[in-house]
Amino acid sequence: MLFCRSYVARVPRIFRARFVSTLTFIETTADGKISPSTFNNLAAAKRISNSNTALILGSNASKVAEQFNNLGSSLGLEKILILENAKLDHSLPEYVAPILKNVLETGKFTHFIMQNSNVGKNILPRLGALMNCQPISDVVDIQDPKTFKRPMYAGNILATVVSEQKINLLSVRSSSFKSIDVNNDGTPSEKITIETIPYNDGDSKAVTIEWEFADLMDNTGRPDLVSAKNVISGGIALKDKTTFDELLEPLADALNAGIGGTRAAVDSGLCDNSLQIGQTGKIIAPDLYIAIGISGAIQHLAGMKNAKTVVAINKDADAPIFKASDYGLKGDLFEIVPQLTAKLREMKK
């Protein structure tokens, strides 16, 4: 991996930390709950400043805000800003970006954090254009309030970016930051101040006509790919969608795992493209990653190489995936996977 570094600000870190204030955008689930990746994003915010504020938008904003008051004392939040409006439920950037601009400029924040998710990728460029700021995307490490690390060229280069901007707009790779362990000391959190902000979408001319949702496997109650501790992933060797589902779903249920796939599996219709793992898909870092029938193309490896333990199942002994694996099973996946699933079920009894 190549490493590049640019000029580092001369102001000592201990002094810089006193003048920064961070706003973190809180993503929520469809049923109005805090997204699991939120606690990774808040951990990133704490790396920057001890003065942290959260922002929640949408029709369930007040309910989500109250959920924070039932958690442990380690969140590090001073205030929660909310704006309840059903128009903001789907985080349409035409509506959200002007609101964020107004909050950031009037609140005297120095940093804004979003997850490097589809929501973040949609909103942050528009927000940057409105504020005439250069966003720093896919941050994997925060060294100090001005110095950030982000991968480039599918992770082949790790760039150290030093920003002298008045406001830093960041999207963070949630899996790169250890989640805050809420309720870790059993101490109830002090009541966090909740403040309602005015609605101002900058007179957006965008009109939402209709929303149509795909029937995704993630809606079955399995963990989200980005936050899942265990992930089962399938490749083109699984042949068709029926086989993909019949082999992977029971194994995923046995491990309480999320399900993903390669670009080739998505292109062949084996799974939805929202489940794609790789350079052009989702970037994950689970505790356990099981690659089934996956050859190990570099684009796919870029999405899962931060997994703590990688297990590969493939009949091709020369498949590149084995070089990136901690454990490898050479053999017929159609025999190995059912046996593995049965053994895990037996162990759970």
Pick 22 or 9 by higher pLDDT.
Answer: 22
* Phi, psi for 236 (deg, rounded to 5): -65, -20
Please tell me the CATH code under which domain 2-196 is placed. 3.40.50.620
At 180 the pLDDT is: 83
Main-chain phi, psi angles of 240, to 5 degrees: -150, 170
Statement: residue 23 has pLDDT above 70: yes
Q: Which residue has the higher pLDDT, 187 or 338?
A: 338
What is the average per-residue pLDDT within 156-175? 91
Average pLDDT of the residues in 151-174: 89
The Cα 327–Cα 4 span in angstroms is: 32
Has residue 117 got a pLDDT over 60?
Answer: yes
- What's at 94, amino acid-wise? E
- Give me the DSSP letters along 143-209: EETTEEEEEETTTTEEEEEE---SSEEEEE-GGGSPPP-TTSS-PBPPPPEEEE------S------
pLDDT of residue 188: 54
- Quick one: tokens of 136? 């720093």
Please state, as a whole number, how many other Cβ atoms lie within 10 Å of the Cβ of residue 202.
Answer: 13
Convert the pLDDT of each residue in 51-104 to its tens digit: 899 999 999 999 999 888 777 556 788 899 999 998 888 888 999 999 999 999
Give me the amino acid identity at 206. Answer: A
Please give the C-alpha separations between residue 115 and each of 42, 132, 176, 199, in angstroms, as whole numbers. 10, 20, 11, 23
Top-confidence residue, 15 or 48: 48
Q: For the segment 294-313, what is each residue's pLDDT rounded down to a tens digit? A: 999 988 998 898 899 999 99
> What mean pLDDT is reported for the chain?
86
Residue 324 CA from chain centroid, whole number: 22
Q: Looking at 12-130, which runs of residues are DSSP E strands?
A: 22-25, 52-57, 77-83, 111-115
Question: Does the pLDDT at position 9 exceed 50?
Answer: no
How far is 170 from 40, CA to CA, in rounded Å? 14
Annotated binding-site residue numbers for FAD: 262-263, 276-280, 293-300, 314
Query: In the structure, what pLDDT confidence band is assigned to residue 13 with cuts at 50, 70 and 90?
Result: very low
User: Which one, of 128, 118, 120, 121, lies nearest residue 98 by Cα?
Assistant: 128
Name residue 245's amino acid: D
Reduce the DSSP state of residue 47 to 3 states and report it: helix
Facing residues of 338 across strands? none
Q: Mean per-residue pLDDT for 146-154?
A: 88
Domain ranges of the chain: 2-196, 218-348
Q: Which residue has the higher pLDDT, 8 or 97?
A: 97
Residues forming the annotated binding site? 262-263, 276-280, 293-300, 314
Torsion sign, CA atoms 27, 31, 36, 39: positive
Q: Which CATH superfamily is domain 218-348 in?
A: TPP-binding domain (3.40.50.1220)
Distance CA 69, CA 193 (A): 10
**Arithmetic mean of pLDDT, 321-329:** 95
Q: Do domains 2-196 and 218-348 have the same CATH topology?
A: yes
CA distance 290 to 309: 8
